[in-house]
Amino acid sequence: MTADLTGVLAQTSLFGSVPGQDLEAVVAASRLRAFRRGQVVFTRGDPGDALIVVISGRVKVVMRSADGAELTLTIIQPGAVLGELSVADGGPRSADAEALEDCQLLLVPRDTVLSLCARVPAAAQALLVLITANLRRLTEEASDLVFLDLPRRVAKVLLNQARSDDGAIRLNLRQEELARQVGGTRQSVNTALRGFQRRGWIEVRDRTVIVTDATALGRFAGS
């Protein structure tokens, strides 16, 4: 199991430049936990005492209003990390995190990450790049919420999905989750998707959205 976890860490942008011996030490100091779909990983205000590496499954990071409204900030895929901001500044969690499906998560203590960054400058640089990239993404998404209408926000989310092995862009999210990501309702997202489908830009198969004309969808989104 240690070798498997070390291999996963070696594929991440944060730990990819870290020597194998240091990765083994990181795994030894960390804790592997299983979370069920819908289970809370952490909530806003919790101590930021660990970096979290998604080994399997997906985790969504969300902001919730006092009346229960929810905005999904990002969805963390396998091999990616979350909680890096609190690890860097020692502050509390700035949002909630919830398992979008059954997950295995590796909890790396903050002290372990900071010690690693002090010994391996490339790791410190990677942490800085990761935080900066997330700041750029959140800035762009905040701009989109203000300046783009909902169909264009939906189009951008579709285009931002990783391509599958066959080169296709697939969105494996329920429409409720997509609505929370674009700041809309399920009905408005459904209307946007139907419009894309009529134009021949997407197909919907077994609740999976497949982009069939990324060029046209990109022109519509202004990408």
Q: Which of 112, 145, 178 corresponds to the end of one domain?
A: 145
Q: Which of 97, 113, 145 corresponds to the end of one domain?
A: 145
The answer on pLDDT for 17 being more than 80 is: yes
Domain containing residue 201: CATH number: 1.10.10.10
The answer on pLDDT for 1 being more than 70 is: no
Q: Which of 101, 121, 145 corresponds to the end of one domain?
A: 145
Please report the pLDDT score of residue 162 as a whole number.
83
What does pTM read for this prediction? 0.88
Same domain, yes or no: 123 and 162: no
How many distinct structural domains can be found in the chain? 2
The answer on pLDDT for 64 being more than 70 is: yes
The answer on pLDDT for 107 being more than 90 is: yes
Q: What is the mean pLDDT of residues 26-39?
A: 96
Same domain, yes or no: 68 and 155: no
Q: What is the mean pLDDT of residues 32-61?
A: 96
The per-residue pLDDT for range 116-145, each reduced to its tens digit, is 999 999 999 999 999 999 999 999 999 999
214 contacts: CB under 8 Å, gap ≥ 6? 159, 169
Same domain, yes or no: 131 and 184: no
Domain that holds residue 80: 2-145
The answer on pLDDT for 14 being more than 70 is: yes
Same domain, yes or no: 139 and 154: no
Domain containing residue 46: CATH number: 2.60.120.10
Same domain, yes or no: 137 and 156: no
Please report the pLDDT score of residue 205 as a whole number.
85
Please report the pLDDT score of residue 2 as a whole number.
62
Q: What is the mean pLDDT of residues 109-114?
A: 96
How far is 161 from 177, CA to CA, in rounded Å? 14
Same domain, yes or no: 184 and 85: no
